[in-house]
Amino acid sequence: MEKKEGEVKDLREKLEKGEMTREEILAKMKKRGLYHHTGEPIPGIFTISSIIIWVVLCFFPIICVMFNLNIVDIPSIEILGEISIIAFIFAAVMPPPLFYSVYLRGKQSVTGDENIILVRTGAYRIVRHPAVLAGLILFLALPIIFAVKLPFTVLSVLGEMAVIIGAYLQVLHEEKINVRKWGDEYIQYMKEVPRFNFILGIWRWARRKKRDNLEKEKKKVGEKHAKNDEG
């Protein structure tokens, strides 16, 4: 099978040699249609529209009160207090390290959000889209947390589903562009690191780490034997 080179390889090489500035690279990426929102009528259209739907559906009872709307009551779904506490802990613990990895990626890249270097450190070793996963966790957890005081209805469930679908469509769009940007390098990354499944991601990362450690040990043993043979 023919090797597929990424469309930013030449830009990365020119950047390393100091032959192009950051602004020139961004202009070239825009011309090649390699911005991660390329082709969208509104940048982040899938995310934005799903969040609007989420707000309307999840907070429908409050909206009715605010605008004095007399609409037939929608049956509430009982959420146990223990579940709300678990959702709160999950929302407090998970997003910070995920967002921090995105922050580090921004510092590593000279092109900011429009990266030409495929970052595989931090949370990017576990999931391919840590920022989106962090946002999903928050949007899914908040209505459950608020269920202690606010009604959680069938509409809330639909709102949660809208956020999941919106996030999925958004990353599908971005990944098509990422395959163009990095070619086989990103295709291999997709095989190794899941999109959102952090449990699977941790398991795969641990397995890769164990394999790498074994290879290092074999290399050390081989070097030791080679020195003994020379002696």
For residue 104, what pLDDT is reported? Answer: 81
Q: Check: CB of residue 31 under 8 Å from CB of residue 136.
A: no
Which two structure tokens, joined as six digits, stand for 61?
A: 């009872």
For residue 150, what pLDDT is reported? Answer: 79
How many whole angstroms separate alpha carbon 48 and alpha carbon 163? 9
For residue 91, what pLDDT is reported? Answer: 93
pTM of the model: 0.85
Which two structure tokens, joined as six digits, stand for 121?
A: 């450190």
How many whole angstroms separate alpha carbon 51 and alpha carbon 129? 18
Long-range interactions of 87-92: CB distance < 8 A, separation 24+: 87/140, 87/141, 87/144, 87/145, 88/141, 88/145, 90/137, 90/141, 91/137, 91/138, 91/141, 91/142, 91/145
For residue 228, what pLDDT is reported? Answer: 67
For residue 149, what pLDDT is reported? Answer: 78
pLDDT tens for the chain, residues 1 to 231? 567 888 998 988 888 888 988 888 888 998 999 988 888 888 889 999 999 999 999 888 777 766 777 666 777 888 888 899 999 999 999 999 888 888 888 777 767 678 888 888 889 999 999 999 999 999 999 999 988 777 888 889 999 999 999 999 999 999 999 999 999 999 999 999 999 999 999 999 999 999 989 988 888 877 776 666 665
Residue 198 burial (C-beta neighbours within 10 Å; 0-12, 13-18, 19+): middle
What separation, in Å, do the N-terminal and C-terminal C-alpha atoms of the chain show? Answer: 45
Which two structure tokens, joined as six digits, stand for 84?
A: 């709300």
